[in-house]
A and B are shown apart, each in its own frame.
Chain A
Amino acid sequence: MKLRHARSSRLLAVASLATAAALALSACSSSTEAAEEGEPAAATSVTITDNHGEVEVPVNPETVVALDNHVYQTLSDWDVELAAAPKGLMGTLWPEYRENDDVFDVGTHREPDLEQIVAAQPDLIIGGGRFGGSYDDIKAQNPQAVVIELAPRDGEDLVEELKRMSTALGEIFDHADEAQALNDDLDAAIAGAKEAYNGEDTVMGLITSGGKIAYAAPNDGRSVGPVFPALGLVPAIEQTAEDESHGDEISVEAIAQSNPDWLLVLDRDASFAPENRDASAVPADELIAGSEALQNVTAVQNGQIVYLDANFYLREDIQLYTELFTQLKDALSAS
């Protein structure tokens, strides 16, 4: 496998050199040819604003590399093919990318294999998310490609960020209507959940991993935090996060003392291979609903615990947030 990849990437490198040369030679002529063929008036490129400013992006780029976990579901729904992606961060999702040998594996953000991106010779690279730290490297290594980052920015309203993202993707991949539908669905789900919330119940966000419970702060806590401002939820404990992505260590005592009416739980370990998961990585359900110390908490007594989708940690995309808000609306109106 490794060997095959190495060889194929070397071949590709040679091929890329040849293509580059050929392109350089035929650059002027090909553009005029295209115009002469009388293509319909569809724009060949579109200017979008990404996290770094205005970028001109080709519409429906031929070769796309995506590194941001927020976009896979959208691209998958729109049948966009990928030339390279971080397969290690896809859990058991998107088999068309993960199990496709034509898609180069960029590894994970902890151990990125950025050469695979170069080998894929992309026209467009959607970076950001977990790969945000590699932006400069990627840009330098792929001068021929347009590199954009659309991932939600820190400190911005997540809902707006998600919508901005799908709008941009819609323009690039010529699926503006579908993008609009995604945004409308999200707005509708939020409006529904807002209406179902009584405005008084206290809510606490939790992240579980490796048998331990962590507190996800309102606003900036991983996955769960943005739900608070979107719905105007009352937090059971008002405190800013020290560790935004992994949560702050909290004891069952503190949860019991603050006695939240609702719990929003992200099971971080659930994303990775649930079938052979570690036994001590107690499923969140057992860790919270099964906890002796939490039996008198309103949320546990009334079964008012909302567990996020098992793959939420891997995706965090607009589709899952829409689902989450719908899930919340149903739970809130059922109580």
Chain B
Amino acid sequence: MIWLRHNILSPLASVDTLTLWLLRGAAGAAMGVVMLILLFLAMESWPALRHISIERFLTDPSWNPGENLYNLAPMLSGTLYAAAGALLLATPLGIASALFIAYYASPHAASTYRHLVELLAGIPSVVYGFWGLTTLVPLINQLHPPGASLLAGILVLTLMILPTVALTAYAALLAVPDEYMIGAAALGLSRWGMIRGVALPAAKTGIAAGVILAAGRAIGETMALLMVTGNVVQNPSSLFEPIRTLAANIALEMPYAMDDHRAALFVSGLTLMVLVMSLWSVAARLARNGDG
């Protein structure tokens, strides 16, 4: 008995303490990295922020760093339009895919379909971009020139974030306790009634987390959008007009940027970072309210 207590209690307690501190350390390191990224962005942006006022980044007539004009606002809205459009399409499609895999498909079809979605998640973004550039853009061009447009960006992004939404929603549905479903079945609910009344409400938080994860990816996605959106800096007046996102702006101009132009691109990165962080904080608040 004594050796048992000795073996189980004291070593485990010390392992617990160790794990606790290891995890604290890891979390601290992750936070430190984020802080360092912010600090780095701020430092690299400083040469521009020092003699270009913040409001000029929103009110200059255009984005022409060569002529000392630095309006970021159209790119900010372009990023938001593309991400919002993609989320609007990918969320219902992704949740429907997850419901299909979890409750409707035969086991064989479910596993095939799930593997397909997983494959979709593994394809590198340049491949989506290349497909968009050589297939999707010419198609849209036949509908309404120039083809490279907000619409092309939304469609490519939808494909890219669909697996994220579908797989996290599926995992959330899988985590709904069996007792809930058995209880619902015992009440005589139809399959759709069980899904709507029990499964979806129980998996709500998990699904929302997946959508937020997808939103993060949509906002930060660079290469695919760079290839299909046309990259003209403007506020689009229709789905068929080209846009430029903040991330694409950096990828497009960084290799040849110097001095103020270079620093202005870091301002563009800083804006992107702040945008993602504010979205996360909004999402976190929503989740907290949803729970309470």
Do the two chains belong together in a single complex? Answer: no
Which residues of A come within 8 Å of B, CB atoms? none
The interface of chain B, by Cβ under 8 A from chain A, is: none
